[in-house]
Structure 1
Amino acid sequence: MSLSGSCHCGTVKFHLEASPNWLTACNCSICRRLGALWIHSEYQQITLECQPSDTLGYSFGPRNRAFHSCILCGCTTHWEGLTEETETKIAVNGLLLPASVIEPLKIRRFDGAETCQYLDKA
């Protein structure tokens, strides 16, 4: 089953190979401000449909991820890994999927601010 989502204006689209088991709410300094609910995956499970110039990337701190937002509507769409440790990782903002897809999903809390562990059991 493939799922598709997009930013508000449709410039940045993504496709997931499989339905997620949950959405992740992270409390780190950037995720808390973005208000995103992430779907984490390996790069080969998610297809991005956009040009590199369609997004503005933002990286901070250890610079192991770049958070991307659409340059037209401003929606934060995804993050991509930038280091050897994270380069195969990607996450998309689950809130950009249709509401009917995300409403039944569990939201797991992730402590990205301190322990880098989930605060609940899967």
Structure 2
Amino acid sequence: MVKVEDLLRLEDLLLLRHTLEAYNDALIKVFRLMNAHVFLWIKYPPNIEEFKIYLPEAKRKKLLELIDKLEYHKESIDNIMRKMLSELDEAIEEYHSRIKKTLKDSEGSGHG
């Protein structure tokens, strides 16, 4: 017989997985918006020429380095999150398989 606790654990894992995925997707969208509405303005002509008026060259270069660093870390964060989602998927599949096996075994024993 399937235990209610197993179903609740499966539900918790599913909720956790989908919540984590939704937050990761939102985070990536925020990074894309920052890139489209802020970083591109700083990084590419003719915007660069306009921006030099406001920042000394050394400050602008440092800002560009930090933008590049943020882009690198964004990819790292996304990769880590994808690995976390994969681990959760495996745990979910294990619970799901165990529940299906229990149900199948209980059906088989019910007919005997």
**Same fold by TM-score greater than 0.5:** no
TM-score by length of 1: 0.20
* Bigger RCO (CA 8 Å, 6+ sep): 2
Higher strand fraction (1 or 2): 1
Higher helix share: 2
What's the TM-score once normalised by structure 2's chain length?
Answer: 0.21
